[in-house]
Amino acid sequence: MTPTVLFMAAEGKPDPWRDAFLAQMPGVDFRVWNPDPEKDQTGDKSEIDYAIVWKPAAGVLASLPNLKAVFSMGAGVDHLFGDPELPKDVPLVRLVDRCLTQGMSEYVIYWVIHYHRKMGVYAKFRADNVWKRMRQADAEQRRVGILGLGELGGDAATKLVPLHYQVAGWSRSKKEIPGVESFHGEDQLIPFLNRTEILVCLLPLTPDTTGIINKDTLAALPEGAFIINCARGGHVVDDDLLAALDSGHIEGATLDVFHTEPLPADHPYWSHPKVTITPHMASLTVPNSSTEWYVKNIERMERGEAPLNTVDRGTRY
């Protein structure tokens, strides 16, 4: 029997996922949850085997008595914990999507090079019709630091190494990535920041990492450092970052994620000359490649094997 999959993403359009599922798992019973009972296709709740979700509505997952696994539609799983009734005995599966990983590394590399080569300054020169050159920096002297060396941070770090940057990463436990200096644990956060000129945040958002980019950690970065946040808005204390940008201690920030999204029209980031904003597009989940991951895991589970990359509910990633 082919399984029944419930797609539950209020913001996402189901059609590309349905097409991908039908192509990759012919015969799958693909149903789409909708808060409007007129449009909801859940049907008999006891028939739902797997749920593919983004920001699940409170209590819906708990109402599915035979649910075998919950698949996150994003690399981050913090959105799952927004459901106060998240079922306790059902595995939660992180998304490892080759296109999502690639897209994130592209975003990181793009902005690292942007800051390293002072492209923002050249854009300003251009706007003023100024022909001027600055001294070219040496990648071997440029210290990039990645907060979070998981699937995404690890890939970005690995790909920065052959570009000759001095790459380090900070994570909860020590990581072995060739060419990447590993800092770990609370004690090594400040030494990691002290050596980091371009800081990239790719941490999971958990109670431990909320507000990790704050006045103390910003102060630990060298004068003139840059921030690239493509994880979650909750990692940053906005007022602290704005103060560090205004004081000149932080030279620029590229922010893809915010406490409130879309970023409210009156937020000071919009008008700040040192802030670049992108609309949570650093890397998007691609229907085809993410479905490869869901199908691979569903097939494993249907064979009686455990799913890959399950979430640890203690650490919340």
Residues binding ligand GLV (CB under 6 A): 74-76, 285
d(CA 252, CA 120): 9
Active site residue 232: yes
Nearer to ligand GLV, 62 or 286 (CB): 286
What minimum distance in Å lies between the beta carbon of 253 and ligand GLV? 18
Nearer to ligand GLV, 203 or 253 (CB): 203
What minimum distance in Å lies between the beta carbon of 177 and ligand GLV? 21
| Residue 262 preceded by cis peptide, ω within 30 | yes
248 φ, ψ to 5°? 90, -5
Active site residue 272: no
d(CA 105, CA 307): 25
Among residues 280, 300, 313, 316, the one annotated as catalytic is 280
Residue nearest ligand GLV, Cβ-based: 74
What minimum distance in Å lies between the beta carbon of 315 and ligand GLV? 16
Among residues 94, 172, 232, 235, the one annotated as catalytic is 232
**8 Å CB contact between 200 and 147:** yes
Nearer to ligand GLV, 61 or 203 (CB): 203
What minimum distance in Å lies between the beta carbon of 311 and ligand GLV? 12
What minimum distance in Å lies between the beta carbon of 262 and ligand GLV? 14
Looking at this protein, which amino acid is placed at residue 223?
E
Report the greatest alpha carbon distance in the chain. 68
Q: What is the dihedral sign for C-alpha 191, 282, 6, 305?
A: negative
Write the Ramachandran bin of 163: left for phi over 0, alpha for psi from -120 to 50, otherwise beta. Answer: alpha
Nearer to ligand GLV, 99 or 243 (CB): 99
What minimum distance in Å lies between the beta carbon of 250 and ligand GLV? 23
Buried b (16+ CB within 10 A) or exposed e, 170-193: bbbeebebeebbbbbeeeebeebb
**8 Å CB contact between 234 and 214:** no
* Residues contacting 239, CB < 8 A, separation 6+: none
Nearer to ligand GLV, 25 or 75 (CB): 75
How many CB atoms are located within 10 Å of the residue 83 CB? 18
Nearer to ligand GLV, 4 or 285 (CB): 285
The pair of three-digit structure tokens given for residue 242, joined into one six-digit string: 């704005």
The pair of three-digit structure tokens given for residue 71, joined into one six-digit string: 């698949």
The pair of three-digit structure tokens given for residue 115, joined into one six-digit string: 């800051």
Catalytic residue IDs = 232, 280
